Amino acid sequence: MKILTLPGDGIGPEVTHEALRVMQAADRRFGLGLSFSEALIGGAAIDAHGVPLPETTLTAARGADAILLGAVGGPRWDGIERSLRPERGLLGIRAALGLFANLRPAILYPQLAAASALKPEVVAGLDILIVRELTGGIYFGEPRGIRVRADGEREGFNTDIYSESEIRRIGRVAFEAARKRGHRLCSVDKANVLEVTVLWREVMEELAPSYPDVELTHMYVDNAAMQLVRAPRQFDVVVTGNLFGDILSDAAAMLTGSIGMLPSASLDEHGKGLYEPVHGSAPDIAGQGKANPLAAILSAAMLLRYSAGMGEAAAAIELAVGQVLDAGLRTADIHTAGMQLADTTAMGEAVCAALG
Ligand code: NAD
């Protein structure tokens, strides 16, 4: 299992370093046979090579079985031309690797229930996985644009379009993910209004007989948004298109209260993936040892589960994170009265120690 790390910028290298140490600890404990290499992306690549995604990085990414990314960007590179900005490196690698399935878990460790904007009894123990289609739908559909009508008025337009095969491949990822979790899949659409999602619903139904151990339900997106804040624990896995997924995954993420706790994965057709914390490079705290490494560490656990089929090691890392929180250790972003303040390194070390 060849793992490429792309630490990137700001707190990216700090949190990636801790995630790498945790993977090495898991490798020692479970004998996983992992090998690691590192390459540049984002601002760090601009400084060294003048471009945010050097060819050498892309070659290394293509040759790896999975990729762990920190974060890219920062004020230092904000002034340069748009096509050469650090964020272009991230968009470029996602496109080049054909990463069409975005997996965003929203897990609220019971120890952090007070950090959520919702009442603790509504969110304690929350564990949702949102599977979002990432490369189709209205964000990419053609025709699109702003035009002037014959009467002189301007109008803007986009096209929401999904082919059967696009729906089927994201559906399969979601059904497979549900199999690895609570065996319940909720497909979110707007089939009462949008034909594109009538097809979406039909294709999900066509897939269902291949996964008899997974219970498939459907929900309109407006209701799903409401249910996410009313009774979020009713969901196990949610699958939806690009636009709805963009919005619902952010809403679900915020149920957990802290951006420093949120991992993500983007997968290709073969299960190869790019794993990264949801947060950015946090230039305001970079270099100060204040970054919470748990989102990166939980991204590493996802990598082991989804790209390496090493579910046992992934679960052990997640358990270790829970034990560290149980012990009262907190980085500044999740710190509350009575808890022990830890820096980035101490948090990573504690997870490694809990892993054994
Ligand atoms: P951000 O996520 O970097 O930071 C938002 C706030 O959350 C900041 O106050 C930061 O200190 C805090 N925060 C973020 N991660 C944290 C962590 N692990 N521990 C503790 N606190 C944490 O978002 P931003 O400030 O809007 O963006 C900063 C830079 O990151 C920009 O250049 C942006 O383009 C880039 N960015 C990159 C990615 C990515 O690489 N995937 C995602 C979002 C933003």
Pair 136, 185 in one domain: yes
Strand-pair category, 127-133 with 237-240: parallel
Pocket of ligand 1 (CB under 6 A): 11, 15, 71-74, 87, 90, 259-260, 276, 279-285, 291-292, 295, 333
Q: Is residue 112 part of a domain?
A: no
Q: What is the mean pLDDT of residues 109-133?
A: 89
Above 90 in pLDDT, residue 29?
yes
Distance of alpha carbon 157 from alpha carbon 262, whole angstroms? 34
Pair 92, 11 in one domain: yes
Cα angle value 45/48/53 (rounded, 5°): 25
Confidence category of residue 302, pLDDT binned at 50, 70, 90: very high
Instruction: State the pLDDT at residue 254.
Output: 82
Pair 50, 97 in one domain: yes
Instruction: State the pLDDT at residue 332.
Output: 93
Confidence category of residue 40, pLDDT binned at 50, 70, 90: very high
Pair 92, 132 in one domain: no
Residue 293 C-alpha to ligand 1 middle, in angstroms?
13
Cβ–Cβ under 8 Å, residues 6 and 20? no
Residue 139 C-alpha to ligand 1 middle, in angstroms?
23
Residue 333 a catalytic site member: no
Above 90 in pLDDT, residue 271?
no
Mean pLDDT of the chain: 95
Give me the CATH number covering residue 292.
Answer: 3.40.718.10
Q: Examine the fold and report which residue of 238, 255, 272 is the final residue of a domain before the chain moves on.
A: 255
Confidence category of residue 47, pLDDT binned at 50, 70, 90: very high
Q: What is the mean pLDDT of residues 273-292?
A: 97
Alpha carbon 151 to chain centroid distance? 45
Pair 267, 237 in one domain: no
Q: Is residue 122 part of a domain?
A: no
Above 90 in pLDDT, residue 83?
no
Above 90 in pLDDT, residue 162?
yes
Pair 58, 137 in one domain: no
Pair 175, 213 in one domain: yes
In 3D, which of 229, 248, 250 has the Cα closest to residue 239? 248
- Partnered with residue 148 across adjacent β-strands are 154
Is residue 321 exposed (0-12), middle (13-18) or buried (19+ Cβ within 10 Å)?
buried
Three-state DSSP at 3 gives strand
Distance of alpha carbon 109 from alpha carbon 64, whole angstroms? 31
Pair 178, 212 in one domain: yes
Instruction: State the pLDDT at residue 257.
Output: 72
Strand-pair category, 35-38 with 2-8: parallel
One-letter identity of residue 106: A
Q: Is residue 113 part of a domain?
A: no
* Number of separate domains in the chain: 2
Pair 149, 55 in one domain: no
Pair 193, 296 in one domain: no
Q: Is residue 45 part of a domain?
A: yes
Confidence category of residue 38, pLDDT binned at 50, 70, 90: very high
Parent domain of 91: 1-102+263-356
